[in-house]
Structure 1
């Protein structure tokens, strides 16, 4: 069981196609408070409006929007201090910047230290059996594996402890999370 004196905001993260969003949706359906991922919303919005802030067009603008929206998402969630599961956290933006070779700005660095989640972060490992691509997820398997590695490094660099979520059914994953966070 995790200490309760830390922030009650639990990050679920991982590379693309690891079952993270499916798990978040199942947690929501089961009655847990969940905070959706901002990156997919940005991609959908940019595709619908013809914008270029996309990972395959203007990566720098996409990264900046991810940072801005992650801060807003955190601030909105913090208005209610009850426990919540975040579909990715603000450090995911820094991970993305590292993956594409973008310099971590002072603004990104400061945000990563200012907007804190529970010290333990749940990382879902790459899982080839469930991996798929779609209109917003274009990364290949090798990039998914690399993302997982950089994600773990990034969160650890910002003082978080990684807890790997086992490759099990959605309900078994929920039970694992419940046991660990005692909700």
Structure 2
């Protein structure tokens, strides 16, 4: 299954890009951390990211969503974040990453191209996103460094109109598939 990861700082526009790609007919794998946060906040835990098992919960949901994505066969699948993002979050929060997370990253072999969605110059706060713009810039650097250290190929998606960002991603995917196509 050809897969591509979308990553970047909170509020950079990844979800809007993912929704556009989905509406255009591409299978998508939803981001996990925000959903884990929302669920646990609904259960009365206001800051679940501070819990010692937070990274494991996110990883577990990521794994289940990846397994479901396998049903898409040869379709190009776009992943909103990956376990590498969870490692970046652990680093940003000063948490020790669980060994299962490091093992998962080591085993990632299919989704090696990462679209690094750059910040738009602001961050809108939500119940799950309580980060200032300044802090998101630091987090963006942690994400980029973590992906580079893990050996992923980063494709820059600069700030700009949604249609332009989606076009950048589609053109890159088309170019990558043309290179891989048999002659």
Q: What range is the shorter-chain TM-score in? A: 0.7 to 0.9
Q: Would you say 1:167 and 2:159 are equivalent positions? A: yes
The total of aligned residue pairs comes to 174
Structure 1 regions of 5+ residues with no counterpart? 1-6
TM-score, reference length from structure 2: 0.87
CA contact (8 A) 2:59 2:101 kept: yes
Distance 1:125 1:18 in 2: 6
Greater shift after overlay, 77-86 or 146-155? 77-86
2:6 partner SS: strand
User: Do structure 1's residue 21 and structure 2's residue 15 form an aligned pair?
Assistant: yes
Moved segments of 4+, more than 3 Å: none
User: 135-144 or 70-79, which moves further after superposition?
Assistant: 70-79
Distance in 2 separating the partners of 1:90 and 1:117: 13
Please report how far the alpha carbon of residue 140 of structure 1 lies from its aligned counterpart in structure 2 after TM superposition: 0.7
Deviation at 1:52, TM superposition (A): 6.2
- Which of 92, 95, 101 is the aligned partner of 1:102? 95
5+ residue gaps, structure 2, are 178-183
Q: Does 1:49 align with 2:43?
A: yes
State the partner residue of 1:111.
Answer: 104
Helix, strand or coil at the partner of 1:12: strand
For the 8 Å contact 2:56–2:98, the answer to whether it is kept is no
Q: Does the 8 Å contact 1:53/1:61 carry over to 2? A: no
RMSD between aligned alpha carbons? 1.7
Partner of 1:84: 77
Give the alignment's TM-score, normalised by structure 1. 0.87
Is the contact made by 2:116 and 2:154 (CA closer than 8 Å) also made in structure 1? yes
Deviation, structure 1 residue 116: 3.4
The answer to whether the 8 Å contact 2:18/2:80 transfers is yes
Residue 159 of structure 1, CA deviation:
1.2
State the match for 1:124 in structure 2.
Answer: 117
170-179 or 116-125: bigger deviation:
116-125
